[in-house]
Amino acid sequence: MSTADLGGRLALLERYVGAGKANVTLSLEGRIDLVEKSIDQLGLNIEHHRRETATRSAVLEKRIKGLQRLLVFVAEVPIALVAVVAAGICAGYLGSSGWLPSGGAAAFAFLVAFLGANILFRKMIGSCLG
């Protein structure tokens, strides 16, 4: 091993250890202090990342809950539209017998169609959520 090679290795080690000057050798206590400072800084970095991750996960959970509510709403809209069409067909079919009886029959048809479709497609909505 040549002395030039040894000097290069020492300079590399001093950069890792953190000596400010090229020819200054840290004492054992200085090296221990430097390692303790590095460990403390790593602990602070880990704590910072934990807090940041907890904050981000809370925000993402709120967004997911909002998206689930939106998905349920969007899934129930076609069901309501089918019920409205069924009620309209019922009212149109019974339209000649007077307004009140056909309106009541249409409301009943809407209720039956909406509840029936909601029960039939509940598993589909659940599979979308889950």
Q: Which tens digit of pLDDT belongs to each residue from 57-94?
A: 999 999 999 988 888 888 778 878 877 787 777 777 76
Helix ranges (DSSP H) in the chain: 3-17, 28-93, 99-120, 122-129
CA 53, 58, 61, 66 dihedral sign is negative
**Is the Cβ–Cβ distance between 84 and 106 less than 8 Å?**
no
**pLDDT reported for residue 2:** 55
Domain ranges of the chain: 25-129
Provide the residue-wise pLDDT of the chain in tens; the chain has 130 residues: 455 566 566 665 565 555 455 555 668 888 888 888 888 888 899 999 999 999 999 999 999 999 888 888 887 788 788 777 877 777 777 666 555 566 777 777 778 877 877 777 777 766 766 6
Tell me what pLDDT residue 76 has.
79
pTM of the model: 0.48
> Would you state the torsion angle of the CA atoms of residues 116, 121, 122, 124, taken in this order, to the nearest 10 degrees?
180
Amino acid at position 35, single letter: V
Distances (CA, A) of 62 to 75, 104, 106, 111: 20, 42, 40, 33
pLDDT of 17: 56
